[in-house]
Amino acid sequence: MQSRLRSLASTVLCLTMFGCGGDAFGFGNDRDRAVAVAESWVREHPAGWTVALRATDAVYRPFWTPSCTDAASNGYVSLRMADGPTEVELAFRCPLSPNATLEELSQQFRFAIPASLPTGLRSPRWSFRAALVDGAVYEDVQFSKDATGALRITVVARLAGIYARHAEQACDDEAADLEREIINARPLGDTECRIVRRHRVPVRLELSMPSNLAALR
C-alpha cells in the first residue's frame, strides 16, 4: 500500500511539472499512465482552464483572405497568430486598416478559431488533444494593450473534453471524427488506442502578440 501511495504521489508531482518520463510512474502500463495523466488533469481544472499564448512574430494574413482594400475582398479579412503548433485565426469585418485602434478592432471583430490548443500533457507513446464545443468563438472577446504596447486578446471558449490517441497502435477513428463524437456527447469508452475524458468547462485564452498590424495592408 505504501508503495502504491508513493507511486501516486510521484504521478501528481510529474503532472504539476508538465512532463513525466516513463520511469517516474511506478505502476501500470503505458495506457494506465496515460489514463492517470488525463484524470489528474481533469481534477486539477474543475471549473475552468486558462491557456496563455505568446506570439513573438506579428500576426499574418493567410494567402486566401485578401485585404479589405483588395477588389477581391468579400467584406471580411482574417489574421492569424501562431505560438508553436497552436494557431488562432481572428476574423474581422471590413473596413479595417493597419492603424486600427482597440475600439475599431473590437467593433469589427467577427470570430476567433483556436486550433491545436496545448494541453501540456505528456505520457509515453500517447498524444493528448483538447476538443472545444464550438469551432468558432463569436462573443466574449476583449482587446487591450499591456505596458510594453503588445496587443492582448482574451477569448473565452468552451471545452468539450480532452482525449489521447496511441502513437503506435492503429485506431479506427480519425482525430476529427473523435472530436465530433466528444462534442456531440456520444457514448465513448476508452480503448487500447484512445482515452476520452469529457469535461465541459470554460477555456480562457490569453493571447499576446506584437501590435504590428501591417498584414492588413
Identify the pLDDT of residue 194: 87
Average pLDDT over residues 38-46: 96
Average pLDDT over residues 44-50: 96
Average pLDDT over residues 79-83: 93
Q: Taking 70 as the threshold, does the pLDDT of residue 167 lie above it?
A: yes
Identify the pLDDT of residue 172: 67
Identify the pLDDT of residue 68: 95
Mean pLDDT of the chain: 85
Confidence class for position 73, pLDDT limits 50, 70, 90: very high
Closest to 203 measured CA to CA, from 143, 161, 150: 161
% of the chain surpassing 70 pLDDT: 83
Distance between CA atoms of 21 and 198, rounded to whole angstroms? 25
Please say whether the beta carbons of 42 and 199 come within 8 A: yes
Identify the pLDDT of residue 173: 65
Identify the pLDDT of residue 192: 82
Confidence class for position 181, pLDDT limits 50, 70, 90: confident
Helix axes 30-44 and 2-16, enclosed angle (nearest 10): 60
Contact residues for 88 (Cβ-Cβ < 8 A; gap 6+): 53, 80, 81, 112, 113, 114, 115, 155, 205, 207
